[in-house]
Amino acid sequence: MAVTTLNEASTLVLPTSLDIAGSRDLQAALRPLLDSQDVAHLDASKVERVDAAGLQLLTAFVRRARSAEVSVVWRGVSAELKAAAAMTGLTFHLGLEA
């Protein structure tokens, strides 16, 4: 199942459901962003459903990116993702601070 797509500007568009069901596919889609570039663009504007597994995966990704000096740029963040991050105390760890 292709959960993510790269659009013209090399942005990884996150799926509508960031949950445990799709987390393995998402992990596979995120991995190449750490190898090839200095900036990883993520578009989370379409995310409607988030669970702790999805947040955990994104947190691990952002942490890894920081230690590899890859900047994570959020192209868009849905209200749902922001709310879930705030509720779990992960806003800062995800680099979602305003």
Partner 1 sequence: MSDPNQLLNQLREVFFQEAEEGLEVAEAGLIELSNGTFDLEALNSVFRAIHSIKGGSGTFGLTRLIEFAHTAEAILDALRSQDNPPATEVVDGLLLSVDHLRAMLAAERDGSDLDSARTQDLQAQLQVLLSLVQGGAPSSATAAPVTAAPAAPAATFATEWSIEFLPHTDLMAFGNDPILLLRELGSLGPCRVEAILDRLPSFEQLEPDSIHLGWRINLSAAVEEAQIRDVFAWVESETDLNIKRVEPAAGRPATEPAPITAPTAPKAIPSAARAMAAAQPQQHREASSIRVSTDKVDALINLVGELVITQSMLSQIEKEVQIPQLDRLRDGLAQLKRNTRELQDSVMQIRMLPIKFVFSRFPRIVRDLTTKLGKKVDLQILGEDTELDKTLLEGVADPLVHIVRNALDHGLETPEERLAAGKPETGSLRIEAYHQGGDVHIKVSDNGRGLNLAGIFKKAVQVGLVKAEDRLSDAEIVDLLFAPGFSTAAQVSDISGRGVGLDVARRNIQNLGGTVEVDSKPGKGTTFSIRLPLTMAILDGQLVQVGSQIYIIPLVAILESLLMGSAHIRNIAGQQEVYRLRDEPVPVIRLYDIFGVPAERKTLPNSLLVVVESGGKKAGILVDDLLDQQQVVIKSLESNYGSVGGVSGATILGDGTVALILDVPGVVSLANRQARRANDEWGTRAARSQAGTASGAGRSKA
Backbone angles phi, psi at 26, to 5 degrees: -65, -40
Q: Is 20 in the site for partner 1 (CB under 8 A)?
A: yes
Site for partner 1 in 50-69 (CB under 8 A): 50-53, 55-57, 59-61, 63-64, 67, 69
Query: Using an 8 Å Cβ cutoff, are 3 and 22 in contact?
Result: yes
The first and second tokens of residue 35, run together, are: 């190898």
How much is the CA Rg of the chain, to the nearest whole Å?
12
Binding site for partner 1 (CB under 8 A): 20, 23-24, 26-27, 30-31, 34, 37-39, 50-53, 55-57, 59-61, 63-64, 67, 69, 71-74, 84, 87-90, 92-93, 95-98
